[in-house]
Amino acid sequence: MKIKWLTIQQNFTNLSQNFARLLNVSEEDFKASTGWLDRFKKQNDIRRFKIQGESE
Give the contacts of 29 (CB within 8 A, at least 6 positions apart). 20
Q: What is the pLDDT of residue 10?
A: 67
Q: What is the pLDDT of residue 36?
A: 78
Condensed to tens digits (0 to 9), the pLDDT of residues 1-56 reads 566 767 776 677 777 788 888 888 887 887 777 787 788 788 888 776 555 554 55
All structural domains of the chain with their residue ranges: 5-43
- As a whole number of angstroms, the distance between CA 38 and CA 28 comes to 20
Q: What is the pLDDT of residue 53?
A: 56
Q: What is the pLDDT of residue 3?
A: 66
Rounded to the nearest 10 degrees, how much is the dihedral formed by the CA atoms of 40, 29, 26, 8?
-30
